[in-house]
Structure 1
Amino acid sequence: MNVHDIAQNPDEHVRFAAYLAELQHVADADEVDLVDRVLTDPDQTMAQSAVLRHLDRRAADLYPGLAYEEWVRTMTQATSGHPFLAQRLREWSIFRAVTLKLPWQLDDLLASSNWLQLKTASGMNAEAIEVLADAGRTKRIRTTARTGLTHRSKS
């Protein structure tokens, strides 16, 4: 089934599942075109949700390696008209920097979404976890970070 056929289905749940399947199997060379086409779906909430899942899956696979930098640049261009998607890509880059102990800015982490703060609070960067234990956005984030610090000190 191609994206044009998918878009003709009136059921957004069917389209969502079909988009996810297409995105999961897309060749790297065709990824931008497919993301662009999915984002033309009239149900923008559903389309952006499908692309968000794709971005999260791909970023989780790519962030440790060198291919991430080019991929995130390309996907940032492809999602430029969609602020939430562009923000998620920025946050994946912050996560990458924190996790790989590359240079990162404290203010970027503190201004980030609950999603990124919670993901980082569960991670391995002691400096970031300490910051979130004290200044995380929510009680859950602070508790997760404190728990991580406790486990680290027992090791």
Structure 2
Amino acid sequence: MRPTLLTALLLLGACAAQPSPADPHAVLQEVLDSYRANLAGMQPTTAPVLPRLEGAPERAAQLLGQSPEALRRWLGEPRLRRTEGAAQIWLYQTPFCHLDVVLDRDDAPGSPLRVSYAAARASGTERRTEAACLRQLAGGMRSAAN
């Protein structure tokens, strides 16, 4: 489990805001804040159904509880979709950012698919904030549909 945690922290670090190079404490704090927000969405509680997204969210954690239809309205179809048991994993991708989304059902029979985990990350060598990645993904998906 520890290598997974370290990998997650390193990936989130790539999306962290760009503090001054002389302030490593600020970089680590930003990474931990993003990591905590994602962990909060992984708690085994029933997520409330959230209202339709209006514009791009600033954090991937704002996607928690959203329906597949809400994701499609905002981002379009994912580049990759994989089924894992009752869950679905969706990947959205541009040349510089990726968004991983896990949709699954509550334990109640007939419950709808909802986002239970979402994490945006930069790819490549440029540093990007999570909000910048989400804006780029939303913009990239809309221009790909035109």
TM-score using structure 2 length: 0.29
More strand by share: 2
More helix by share: 1
TM-score using structure 1 length: 0.27
Q: Which of the two has higher C-alpha Rg? A: 1
The structure whose RCO (Cα within 8 Å, separation 6+) is larger is: 2
